[in-house]
Every structure is written in structure tokens, then in C-alpha cells.
Amino acid sequence: MPPNRKLGIATVCLSGTLEDKLDAAAAAGFDGVEIFEPDLVASALAPEEIRTRCADLGLNIDLYQPFRDFEAVPPDLLAANLRRAEKKFDLMERLGASMALVCSTVSPESVNDDDLAAEHLHLLATRAAERGVRIAYEALAWGRHVSTFDHSWRIVRRADHPDLGLCLDSFHILSRGSDPAPIRVIPAEKLFFLQLADAPHLDMDVLQWSRHHRLFPGQGAFDLPRFLDLVLRSGYEGPLSLEVFNDVFRQSDPRVAAVDALRSLLSLRESVEPRSVEGGLPAPPELQGFAFVEIAAGGGAAPEVTGALDALGFTRTGRHRSKPVALWEQGSARVLVNTDVDAGDATAVAAIAVESPDPAASARRAERLLAPVLSREHRADEADLAAIAAPDGTSVFFCRTDVEESWLADFEAVGGSAPSVLSAVDHVALTQQTDDFDGAALFYRTVFGLHPEVPAEVAAPFGLVRSLSMTDAAQWVRIALSVAAVRRGEWAPGVPHPQHVAFATDDIAGAAARLRDRGLLLAIPDNYYDDLDARIAPERLDLLREHSLLYDRDEQGEFLHCYTPVLGTRIFFEVVQRISGYRGYGALNAPVRMAAHRRVRLQGLASVVRGVA
Amino acid sequence: MPPNRKLGIATVCLSGTLEDKLDAAAAAGFDGVEIFEPDLVASALAPEEIRTRCADLGLNIDLYQPFRDFEAVPPDLLAANLRRAEKKFDLMERLGASMALVCSTVSPESVNDDDLAAEHLHLLATRAAERGVRIAYEALAWGRHVSTFDHSWRIVRRADHPDLGLCLDSFHILSRGSDPAPIRVIPAEKLFFLQLADAPHLDMDVLQWSRHHRLFPGQGAFDLPRFLDLVLRSGYEGPLSLEVFNDVFRQSDPRVAAVDALRSLLSLRESVEPRSVEGGLPAPPELQGFAFVEIAAGGGAAPEVTGALDALGFTRTGRHRSKPVALWEQGSARVLVNTDVDAGDATAVAAIAVESPDPAASARRAERLLAPVLSREHRADEADLAAIAAPDGTSVFFCRTDVEESWLADFEAVGGSAPSVLSAVDHVALTQQTDDFDGAALFYRTVFGLHPEVPAEVAAPFGLVRSLSMTDAAQWVRIALSVAAVRRGEWAPGVPHPQHVAFATDDIAGAAARLRDRGLLLAIPDNYYDDLDARIAPERLDLLREHSLLYDRDEQGEFLHCYTPVLGTRIFFEVVQRISGYRGYGALNAPVRMAAHRRVRLQGLASVVRGVA
């Protein structure tokens, strides 16, 4: 596919007034827009003004949409529909739009008659052509008589008018489970328009699914690369245009959503684009693990965080040469504790750094995928780490630690090393705001090249939590995203939605014992073990109970994990032991952990930890 | 039904830890609870402690649930399941619970064999009986082999064990569209337990529907009064127990949700209870319109609000004898403007007052339905209005204005009356927080006796909005509730989700002209009228366009309406003309109105109105 392929977006994808939407689409870098009629109807800009505004913003008006319930109706209704169409052609003339979308009818007054539908569409195309407008006919998945792309194609072929062609919409085709392979029988000159949308697998009414739950490509479950490849191999030459109805995007900042939208299209284009094309994306990095995780510990939280790291067996090995940042190490796990934070700020994961064989190329890829590049202050003799911002504000670094003069050289050594209990960072769990969740998943999938695993849903004590974990093929880097489905219960005292960092070990009992000795092992209630005994009766139940270890298993193996209390406002640590290739995250146990965290909060942690650190 | 019928709630209905849930259920006034196993598993209280806690709170443990995937399995699995059951009987013994819920299996390892299922359940009941436990078997709507109540009854009858009976759950029965009438063939002694839940009509996977979208009785679309009547006529004597899985309730303040829950049950009980029963509810009031609407206008907003009332043709007719509250009147429409408000507070609907023939009985009904009674300061010579608080914090008064010494006597007359353009309050539109929406609908339905109309959904510029209007049979009182489905886009400047009061008129052009003369008519863009012309081509299009009138129609008649800008932080007025019995609210036009409100906000209203008032 040529890299100059135009990329577009329907205004319905974005929140706000038409003016907000156009501004956001242009700022992100789209080439064109579909004007969604209700956006125009509510706008105070005259069509001529919209035309000028789009031109000023560098946006082509690719499509005006939708025109509904036109074809296969009785004569009086046909006359009314033609009058309606002429009015819309008037508008399109003023707007400077030359293609109208006509959706297959859902009218109860229409008849199931392909000949009549073709005849009416021929008539419409004739009238349209007189006004310089072309008609793209689309089969809605819930169309009354025409609901599949091949049916819409039969009608268009029968109508046989040069100004009548097809609009293909990936949602309408893939949601019905239709095989898109036969798209290739449609001649290129009849493929007038292509709308792209992804969606999660949902077993629900297809109209409701379409109107509320579409996603940008790569955020859902559809095989859009294959779909797009088929359409392009048919010779389609028009823009790739997103049409996504989504309740969250509908109220999200349109400037952010437009960036996510374009990122999704760039990534989709990459999937069908030969790697050699000029202007293409650098390949995703072959990640080799976490270089470090940086924790911002404001106010009085630093002793809690460092006390916990100490209890976990970390040693403070370095002090940053110019910033109040300490390096803690153990095995290949490295944690930076940054105390250059306002006391009022939350204790949080400030940054994650991943090992890339070519950090510069990784950063270039991120930048091409519209990730904001962070300008960082650093002294001339300090490492210039390539840093970008994830949608939730977490800083992301690409590093190579195994070279001379790596970022480690910015730290002055201060201590020795202790015997290692933990070996590495297993995963980082980042809680997201509702608006950021799908965007964050897209970010890590496209920028890091991670693969999403199966989404999970947890009925947690303070509200339903959805999560999505992602990892690379070799499972070097695991990121777990979660979001409160409605929101986290605000009534519950002292429970912001916390983040955590999980460390891998081969001796979880040892790690738990260390934590317990320091008063930092999250106590798990007996009821949990009684239930575990009834359900699974795992070996070593007494060991689990003794060390407050949680347990899970999958087809591969077993999983033992334990936690610290929440430290500061919103961070805690987990220790995990994966046995025989267990791949999950023990999501089933999350409600037990959350209730335990609440208990510690109510009892008050600070006194315990301050005594230790 | 005897008024001493016990009322219960499953802990899964409420947010929080088990301790939070028990406290909330007891505080609301429930008699018993179903302990949902995951709540117990996550609790640090030993079963004996839970038992004591429930006893101290006056809560009976009606049921322990759920026990899954027991019956019709191969021998080795049966042995494991029996071991699991024995462990749970141990627990129930410690808990002091004497009934366990067993759900029809969803296990892929089970077989479709009623005889085997009956045999296994007989065995389970025998074991249970030895431990003083009875088994209530429930057909899950998505059960693998048993998914209907009549099928579960055939198996229980075949099993023929005195300690095995049925649990009926209204959701599992009504969600499948099953006719509940045959329930009456089940003998009373086999009806062990009754779980009640409502739900909206949703065309989706029944398990997802059940797990996320159940509602308390009266909040959804099921005919629960008929269902309950059938079960009671069968002779069921156990508690009425709520089992509602809902994503919003799951994170709402459990103390509030528990009150809603009990209110819904009390109202459901009323529907099957002879009116004469002692301790029953006073009948719903026969409302006769709005007595007044009170607007809190803090800070600089008072001139905006009174300027708009003046422009609408209202006259300031009274001044409260002891409070900074002014009475504005026109026709039978009365608005109180209360300036005893902190400057920082939002301009909002502070109170609504409805005309009741017997205000004291209406207030008593509200109180019996757990509405908080507001204690109000008033002088000895002032009216003692019966006031309660709605879930969103709006004060609600019941009044009789047509008597001597009515609340009007608290106002000192200050002016004459002007010719009336508006005749009455048509409706009050109250925007709700996510957590309050379903509770508010329940409140107005039960306390006022209003009937919900068809729910609407509007793709508004700043996020999807759901609304539900409710009215009495004579349409004297209309309340329109709305809620931002995800939330109102926070990125958009100056757009809190506003409330409004709508006034009825027979001369909307006259009302609009008055507003326009004062610079207070919300301008509707030409694009709207061009689209209206294309779609409907209504008569008098020029008149509509000239006066910025919005238009709708239904099977009955037509609807013309216009608006003021948003006044202060979050209130505006609407004028409506209903022609030939139109029943709606012009919801279709809401996005156009919202975009127009945003434009005024960006341009700045205050200067315009301050010049007038």
C-alpha cells in the first residue's frame, strides 16, 4: 500500500460540537473527515463555512452520511424520499461534498425486492449525478432486507449506474461473522468507500453493539489486517476511514481520542504495508525485559516504599548524580525511588523502562505513532534516555542497560548487594481512568508491539474491574492494565485505585517470610484457605496459609503470590512464583486482596512501617 | 400477604466488604441476608464471628449461596463434589446457616440425565440433612441442561427428598420469557426460597444480562407484582429476598443502595397486599400539579434567573416573611427564587412541591418508604410543609395551595400580576449522578406514584445521555430524569450537566418573542431547519425558524419548544407547547439544544443578562 494512502475519520467518532471534532481531527493529522449529519445539524456554521473551515484545516470532506431508508418503498414514499435527497444534495453542494452514504433500509414500509431496490437506487444515482454527487450504498448488519455486503453488491450490480457503488464497513461485515474473502469479486471501481471499525466479541443485539461498543482498529477482536488486505487487493484506492460509535470516546477529550484513532490506523496500515516502504514505521522492538520501574514517592511515603523494598530484599545500590533519585537492585530487578515529588502527589508508578536492542529506533517508532516525546532535563554527562508519555501519563523509556555508559552510569554506587530473593520484575499493573483504558492498551500494543491476552473481569468489593494484560512473545515484558468499569466506589474510605509492581521469585515462602518479619505481609483470611481446600485442595495448603500466599492454576501450571499493604496513597508490591509456565495473573484472587488492603487501611499502616524503615 | 413477611437481601447486591454490607442491610431495616460466598471468602471474620455479627444486627442468615456444578457428573467428580459440599456444610454449621442454594450445573462434564441429576441431588440432600441443612435447587437461565423452573421442579420431584426443594429466582424465569403461571403446580412445602430481581429488556447474552444489569423490583421491565402474586398464592411462606447483580450498585454507597433495595421491596409488597392491611402504606397521592419549584440562585446568578423569569412573563408577587426567598407567579406556575445560598454553590433546582389532597398522608407514605424527612426551620406562624429528600438531594414538598393558610400565606404580597403567557409548570428535568439515577426513578415512582414512560437515549455532544420521564395518569406532574451514561465529557469547558424547568404555553411564538426581545432566546441554527424541512417539512417552518422553536411530533400530536441559555452554573428554562396530546419531551432535539448552550457559554452570557435584570 502506498504510504500516501489518505486516512480519514467520521466526526461521530469524537466528542464535542462539529467545530471541536474538526479541530481535533486536523490536529491529530487526519487527511479527511466523514461529516456525520447530526453534527452538522447542531452546528451554527453554515455549510459554506464548514467547507471553508475544513479547507483551512487541511481536511477533505470524504463523505456525507448517513442517508437512511430510501429504497424499495411505495411510490408516494419514493417521491418524499427523493425530495429529501434533493434537499441533502443542496446541502452537499454548499458543503462541497461529493459522496453520500446510503444505508440499506430498515423501514417497515419497504419491501424485500432486489429489483425495486436497484431501480430506486439507479434513480437516486441519476439525480445525484446531476448534482455532482456519487452514492455509496452500505448494507447495515441489521438492515431489514439487505444486511450483507454480497447482497448489497448484487443490488448495486443490478442497478448498474456509474455513480452508484458500495461502501464497505468492517463492523457490518465482521460482526455478522461473514467471511470477507468474496470482497475480491467486487471490481475496484465499484468500491466507493471503506469504513473501518473494530469491536470486542459481544453476544448482544448487533445494533446496540454497533452503536455503543465499536473500537478503533486493534482495540477489539476483529481481524482487521486480513479484512483491509482483501479490500486493498481488490484495488480500492479511496481513503481508510474510521467510523466508531463508542460511549466512552463520545465523552472523551476529542483531541486525545483523535490521536488514538490515527495511531490505530497507522498501526493497521503497518500490518498490510511491506516493511520496506519509505516513511513506514520502524519495526516493534524485541523487548528484553524491564530495565527499571520508577516510583514517585511524595511526602511521607518514601519511608514506606523504601521500607518495603528493603523487606523484599532489595539493596540501595545507587544515588543519582543530579536528582533525588535512589536506585534499588536485586537480581535483574531495579527500582528507582524518586522523592522529587510534591508532598500532595500520589505515590505512583512514574515511569517504566524497557530493554530495547535499539532504543533510538524504538523511540522513533513511538514518535511516528504519535506518542508525545518528553523533553527531559539532563546534564551533559548523563544518559539521554529516549522518553515518551503513555496515555495515562506514565513515562516510558527505551534503554540498553548492557552497554558501557548506560543509564546506570548516572548513578553513583553507594552500597553492596545482598543475597537475592527476587529475580526480576514480573509485571507492572497500571490502573487507568475510564477514558484512558482502551487508549493505553492500543499504546502498549502498537508502540511496544505487545500482544493482548484474554480480557478479565473481576467483581471487586468496590466495583467491577476490567483488566487486560499484554506481553511479548517471549514474555519478557508484561503490562497489566485495569479500569473500574463504572468507577471505583467513592464511598469507601481510603481506597484510591492502586497500582502495583510484581516481582518474580523461585522462593515465595522465603519472600513472604521476610515481608512478615517486617510487618509488611498482607494477611489473607482463613476463610480463603477453607474455600481453597473445598474447591481445589492444593498440595501445601498449610504452607499457603502460613505465608498468606494466594493460589491459582491454569492448564500449564500453578501460581503463588503475596502482597504488601498499599504504601503511600496508591502503590503496593506483589511477589509471584510461576510454576510450570502458568501464564495468568491470579485475577480470581483480586477481591480477596482488595478486601485485605481495605482492612489494613482502616487499621492504619503508617505506624507499622515507619517503625521499620 | 401478612405485613410481617420477612424481607431479605443477598450481600452481592451491595458494595464493600462483608462487614460493610451487613451494616448497610441492617441499617436500612432488612430482616435477613443471603451470604454470597465470595463475600465471606474475602472476609477476615471467622464464620462464628459473622454469625454473631448478624445476630447483633438483627439479621437472620436466610441462605448461603451459591454452590455450583454439583449434579449429573461421573463418579469421581461426584465424590469430589460431595467432599466440597461437606466442607461447605462445615462452614454453614459454624455460620448458623440452614439453607444452601445449589444452582443447576453449567459444567461441561455433566450429562443431560434427569434421573442421574435427581439421584445426585437426593444424595446431597441426605448428606445435608445430617448436618441440619436444606438444599434449594435453582435453574440458572443459562444452565447447561436445566434452565427452566419447570425442569428444575421435575428433577426435585423425582429426587423426592424432604430436605430438597426449589429456589425460584424471578430473573431466571422472566428473562427467558417463561410464563410463571405454572408455578402454582408446585406445592408450598417445596418452595424453599424466593429471589427477586428486576431487569430492563435487553437483547443480549442472558448470563451477561444477569451479572451486570439486574435492578431492584420496579426499576426494570419485568412484571414482578404478578410473579410475586403467583408465588404467594402457591403458599410460599419464606422471606422475599433480593438478589441483584448490577455494576452501578456494585460501587455505590451500600447504605444508600440498601435503602433503595428495601424501598423497592416495600413497594412490591404493596402491590400484592390488600390495602386494608394494618401497617400497610398510605395510598399514593392523587397529585394535582406542581405547587412550586424552588431555585437556589447563589452568588451573581440571581439577576440571571430573575431576569429570565421576568422575560418569560413572570411577576414577582411575594416576599417570604422570614427568608430571602421571592415568589414569582404566572398562571398556575410558581417559582421561588432562594438567594440564601453560598456564592460558590451551583444554581440548581433546590426543591419541587407537588399538590396533594392530603399532604400529611403523602409525607407519611414517603416516610414509610424510607425517604429521609427534612427538619425545616420555620416560625410558629409559618406553614409547616411536609418535606422529604429525594436521592439526588432535591427537597420534595407535599402541599395544598387551595386552602386558607396555605404555604402562600408565608409570603407578603409585593406586586400585581401581569398578563399570562405561560400557564403552568409542564415538567421538571433533574439531572442525576450515575449512582442516583435508578434510585431517583424508584423514589418518584413509589413515593409519588408516578408511572415511568419509555426510556430514551440521546447521543449528545458531550456524551451519551439516558433519560426516563415519569408522570401520573392525568399528566399533572411530569418529572424527567437524565444521566450521562459514562459521564459528561469533562474536557468541554463550562458545561456542567444542567437541570431545567419547563413551562407550558398556548402561545409559544409569543413567549419566544418575549425571550428574544430580552436577549434570552437560545438561538437554533439554520441547519436544524434545513434538516427539518428535508425530513418532515412541517407547516409553519418559517415561524419555527423565526422564533428558534424546536419541533417534534408523535402519533398524537405536535410539540414546539424553545429555551433560555444556561443561567448561573446549571439551570435553564424551557417553554413548551403541546398540540393535540403530544406526550413526549422532544428528546431528539436535545443535542441541538446542548450544542447551542455551549456556543452561548463560549460567547459569554452574563453581560447580556446583567444588562437586562
Cβ-based burial of B608 (10 A; exposed 0-12, middle 13-18, buried ≥19): middle
Contacts of B254 in chain A (CB under 8 A): 491
Q: What percent of chain B lies above the pLDDT cut of 70?
A: 95
B436's CB contacts (< 8 A; 6+ apart) are: B391, B392, B483
The rounded mean pLDDT for chain A is 92
Least-confidence region, from A249-258, A410-419, A523-532, B205-214: A410-419
* Dihedrals phi, psi of A42, to nearest 5 degrees: -85, -5
pLDDT at residue B276, rounded to an integer: 55
Interface touch A525/B43, C-beta < 8 Å: yes
pLDDT at B584: 95
- The stretch B556-572 carries a mean pLDDT of 94
Quote the pLDDT of residue B344.
Answer: 63
More confidently predicted of A272 and B193 = B193
Tell me what the mean pLDDT of segment A108-137 comes to.
98
CB contact under 8 Å between A42 and B596, yes or no, is yes
CA dist., res. B353 & res. B359, Å (int): 10
Closest C-alpha among A74, A54, A52 to residue A62: A54
Q: Among all residues of chain B, which has the CA nearest to that of A68?
A: B535
Instruction: Quote the minimal CA–CA distance from B312 to chain A in Å.
Output: 25
What value, to the nearest 5°, has the Cα angle with vertex A54 and ends A52 and A59? 145
Residue A612 banded pLDDT, cuts 50, 70, 90: very low
Say yes or no for a CB contact (<8 Å) between A41 and B15: no
Q: Are A285 and A301 in contact (CB under 8 A)?
A: no
Band of pLDDT at residue B609, cut at 50, 70 and 90? very low
- Phi and psi angles of residue A517, each rounded to the nearest 5 degrees, phi first: -60, -30
Predicted confidence (pLDDT) at residue A46 exceeds the cutoff of 70: yes
Which among B255, B491, B534 has the least Cβ separation from residue A253? B491
Give the three-state DSSP class for A588: helix
In this predicted structure, what is the pLDDT of residue A608? 44
Q: Span A514-541, mean pLDDT?
A: 95
Contact (CB, 8 A) for B354 and B448: yes
What average pLDDT does range A250-255 have in this prediction? 93
Res B181: pLDDT: 96
Distance CA A459, CA B245 (A): 10
In percent, how much of chain A has pLDDT > 90? Answer: 82
Reported as type and span, the H/E element at residue B337 is: strand B333-338
- B251 vs A486: CB contact, 8 Å cut-off? yes
CB pairs A-B closer than 8 Å: 195
Q: Tell me which range, A294-308, B298-312, B501-515, is most confidently predicted by mean pLDDT.
A: B501-515
Smallest Cα–Cα separation from A304: which of A601, A602, A596? A601
Q: Is B378 annotated as a binding residue?
A: no
Supply the pLDDT for residue A428.
98
Nearest CB neighbour to B592, from listed A42, A486, A591: A42
Run of H or E including A123: helix A114-130
| Domain assignments of chain A as residue spans, ordered by start | 7-272, 290-612
A476, β-bridge pairs: none
Peptide bond into A591 cis (omega under 30): no
**A122/A164 Cα distance (integer angstroms):** 7
Burial of A278 by CB count in 10 Å (0-12 exposed, 13-18 middle, 19+ buried)? Answer: exposed
- How far is A58 from chain B, CA to nearest CA, in Å? 23
Q: For residue range B48-92, what is the model confidence (pLDDT) as tens digits?
A: 999 999 999 999 999 999 999 999 999 999 999 999 999 999 999
**What DSSP string runs through A41-110?**
HT-SS-HHHHHHHHHHHT-EEEEEEEE-S-SS--HHHHHHHHHHHHHHHHHHHHHT--EEEEEPP--TT-
Check residue A418 and give its pLDDT. Answer: 67
Phi–psi pair at B43, nearest 5 degrees: -90, 145
Cβ separation B250–A486 shorter than 8 A = yes
Q: Strands, DSSP E only, in A331-462? A: 333-338, 348-355, 386-389, 395-399, 411-413, 422-432, 451-452, 456-460
Contact status, residue A192 vs residue A153, Cβ threshold 8 Å = no
The answer to whether B591 touches B460, Cβ cutoff 8 Å, is: yes
Length of chain B, in residues: 613
Residues B133-154: tens digit of each pLDDT: 999 999 999 999 999 999 999 9
Distance CA B570, CA B494 (A): 10
List chain B residues with CB under 8 Å of A205.
202-204
Instruction: Band the pLDDT of B415: cuts 50, 70, 90.
Output: confident
pLDDT tens sequence across B259-294: 999 999 999 999 987 665 666 788 999 999 999 999
Kindly indicate whether the ipTM for this predicted assembly is greater than 0.90, answering yes or no: yes
Nearest CB to B205 within list A46, A203, A526 = A203
Contact (CB, 8 A) for A132 and A101: no
Question: pLDDT above 90 covers what percent of chain B?
Answer: 82
Quick one: CATH architecture of A7-272?
Alpha-Beta Barrel (3.20)
Element containing residue A509 per DSSP (H, E): helix A508-517
* H-assigned helices in B16-113: 18-28, 37-41, 47-57, 75-95
Chain A residues within an 8 Å CB radius of B16: 461-462, 489, 491-492
Query: Cβ contacts (< 8 Å) between A594 and chain B: which residues?
Result: 42
Query: Which stretch of A292-306, A506-520, B89-103 has the lowest confidence by average pLDDT?
Result: A292-306
CA–CA dist B549, B293 (Å, integer)? 24
Cβ separation B15–A530 shorter than 8 A: no
Contact list in B for residue A43 (CB cut-off 8 A) is 525, 527, 595
Compute the average pLDDT of residues B312-330: 95
How far does A550 lie from chain B, in Å, by closest CA?
A: 12
Output the average pLDDT for chain B: 92
Contact between residue A523 and residue A548 where contact means Cβ atoms under 8 Å apart? yes
Q: How many residues does chain A have?
A: 613
Interface contact B250-A47, CB threshold 8 A? no
- The per-residue pLDDT for range B446-477, each reduced to its tens digit, is 999 999 998 899 998 989 999 999 999 999 99
Which element (helix H / strand E) includes B101? strand B99-103
The whole-number average pLDDT for the span A474-484 is 95
Q: What are A471's strand-pairing partners? A: A451, A478
E-strand spans in B342-495?
348-355, 386-389, 395-399, 411-413, 422-432, 451-452, 456-460, 463-471, 478-484
- The C-alpha atoms of residue B104 and residue B152 are separated, in whole angstroms, by 8
Minimum distance, in Å, between the CA of residue A414 and any CA atom of chain B: 42
Closest A-chain CA to B596: A42
pLDDT at A278: 63
Q: Which of A148, A155, A144, A149 is nearest to A105 (CA)?
A: A144
The three three-digit cell numbers of residue B260, written as one number: 433503595
Fold of the A290-612 domain:
2,3-Dihydroxybiphenyl 1,2-Dioxygenase; domain 1 (3.10.180)
Report the pLDDT value the prediction gives residue A610, as an integer from 0 to 100: 42
Helix (H, G, I), strand (E, B) or coil at B502: strand
Number of helices and strands (H, E) in chain A? 18, 25
CB neighbour class for B75 (10 Å; exposed up to 12, middle 13-18, buried from 19): exposed
B122: phi then psi, degrees, rounded to nearest 5: -60, -45
Check residue A607 and give its pLDDT. 45
> Mean pLDDT, to the nearest integer, of A178-202?
96
**Interchain CB distance below 8 Å, B461 and A16:** yes
The torsion angles phi and psi of B48, rounded to 5 degrees, stand at -60, -35
Contact: B464, A83; criterion CB under 8 Å: no
Which range, of A274-283, A372-381, A388-397, averages the lowest pLDDT? A274-283
Question: What is the per-residue pLDDT across B299-317, written as a single tens digit (0 to 9) for each?
Answer: 778 999 999 999 999 999 9
Q: Which amino acid is at A113?
A: D
Instruction: Please tell me the distance from the alpha carbon of residue A303 to that of residue A310, in angstroms, as a whole number.
Output: 10
According to the model, what pLDDT value does residue A603 have? 78
